[in-house]
Copies of this chain bind each other. A is one copy, B any other.
């Protein structure tokens, strides 16, 4: 045997006979790695399959399969036994990435400038379990008719329309778009055709697309202050400059906004139930805001995250419904009225923007899962949705009353908590100076999730308080969590 041949046969291939990985695969992988590592070098001849088989006590066919694979991938030239040699896999030694070399420090930043902006934007929703009492915006998961949903799901999967298994339309499943157009018209006073409805995976997918379509990096965006931190995050992630706009009892102060940033062309508002204050954007402000958008050809993103939960009067009509000039991009979600994990939400886009949204979608995730959309359509068309909504309205009304009663007993001396005619959360304001982030951290330790009011503020003037969801926890959990919250407040002192 030549010296070269020795090199290969003497190499310590470790073939494990009891492994689930076939022997030929083990052989292929180990020899490939020897070549990649440079331990077998170009030009070395490969011994005959018989010799290798005998050295390792395996069948010849095992060897043949392994070497055919190596040949097909170009690690060796020709077939085994046929004057085969290790191929010239590397242009030059210096270019070879070698195993075991210490990884050199990166000279370039890992991410691009745009990527750094994206990855480092603060305010993203936390990636933690929200199955904890008082987590704001969490619906009553246990009250969701999951078994019924499963039945509807099974029915669709049993006899699926082929179009629901294939690639679908990027705007979403047409019957769902129609059902939603009817629903937002009836319950939210939106005026739209199904053509304007686009199904997305969560409302922030739509908001992020809208921002990218309608703004350039460094453009200003008018944001409610206090306002939802997740929106600040998404705005920052696409490179926008946040302009805080004070919120009062009538909501977003349009005059202040225009004064603070006359060149702004984008505004994000939660007019039906301001996050977190609960203010309803007054009719006069609505008119002003629409007039502003029309005048400067700006855009209003209306986030109607929990507008259907109204415990007094009718749900307030959406801003979209009174917009005559197609300047409102209305987004809403099924995360709050059903469950978040469905990842189904929708945008009602001005007709002129529909194509742009669909294009943006096509370049990334194309569309939302087909059967899930069909199941939601069935759920709506068969009346389950309306029934669930009614049940949740009355459940949440009860739970709010209980929350307030328990809060007054346990923490009424510390916090003022006013009832809310709408939504899924309440704001408690401290009667004295307290660091709300410390209270929230202490509460989290005790298994209660409240969001410090101060974290909703973008500007310097912050109020201290707690934003508490009352919709998820049942009576017992609410009582227990309230005791824990009282303890957390006492701890911080």
Q: List residues of A whose CB falls within 8 A of some B CB.
A: 21, 24-25, 28-29, 32-33, 35-36, 65, 68-69, 72-75, 87-91, 95-99, 101, 103, 106-108, 110-115, 118-121, 124-125, 127, 129-131, 138, 141-142, 144, 146-147, 149-151, 153-158, 160, 162-170, 186, 189, 200-202, 204-205, 208-209, 212-217, 219, 233-234, 237-238, 250, 255, 265, 280, 282-288, 290-292, 294-295, 297, 312-314, 316-317, 322-326, 335, 339-344, 352-353, 355-356, 358-360, 362-372, 421
Contacts and interface: CB of A to CB of B under 8 A. Distances in A.
Contact of A341 (B68, B151, B168): B168
A32 B341 contact: no
A87 B288 CA distance: 14
**Residue from the set A127, A238, A282 with the largest chain B CB neighbour count within 10 Å:** A127
Contact of A282 (B68, B73, B343, B369): B73
A341 B91 contact: no
Contact of A124 (B98, B103, B295, B363): B363
B69 A283 contact: no
Nearest to A142: B162
Given A125-B362, A150-B154, A153-B154, 16 more contacts: A35-B283, A36-B287, A65-B313, A87-B283, A89-B284, A90-B288, A97-B291, A114-B213, A118-B359, A127-B358, A129-B166, A138-B166, A147-B158, A151-B157, A343-B366, A344-B369
B360 A343 contact: no
Given A287-B97, A324-B99, A127 B169 contact: yes
A242 to B, nearest CB: 14
A107 B204 contact: no
A366 B125 contact: yes
A42 to B, nearest CB: 9
B99 A202 contact: no
B283 A214 contact: no
A164 B144 CA distance: 12
A213 B168 contact: no
Given A162-B131, A342-B369, A368-B343, A297 B213 contact: no
Nearest to A364: B208
A454 to B, nearest CB: 22
A20 B139 CA distance: 28
B283 A215 contact: no
Contacts of A25: 314
A127 B362 contact: yes
B91 A284 contact: yes
Contact of A204 (B65, B294, B324, B364): B364
19 contacts: A65-B314, A74-B250, A87-B283, A90-B287, A90-B291, A91-B284, A106-B297, A112-B219, A129-B163, A131-B166, A138-B166, A146-B165, A151-B154, A165-B341, A168-B341, A202-B365, A233-B362, A237-B363, A343-B366
Given A118-B363, A127-B362, A73 B204 contact: no
Nearest to A370: B341
Contact of A73 (B28, B146, B316): B316
Contacts of A147: 157-158
Nearest to A125: B362
A360 B284 CA distance: 37
Contacts of A154: 150-151, 153-154
Contacts of A130: 166-167
Given A119-B360, A362-B125, A363-B121, A341 B283 contact: no
Contact of A213 (B111, B200, B290, B341): B111
Nearest to A271: B73
A87 B284 contact: yes
A215 B112 contact: yes
B340 A165 contact: yes
A43 B21 CA distance: 84
A112 B216 contact: yes
**Residue from the set A98, A129, A142, A150 with the largest chain B CB neighbour count within 10 Å:** A150
B213 A118 contact: yes
B288 A91 contact: yes
Contact of A28 (B68, B314, B362): B314
A271 to B, nearest CB: 10
A21 B186 contact: yes
A39 to B, nearest CB: 14
A2 to B, nearest CB: 23
Given A96-B291, A114-B216, A341 B369 contact: yes
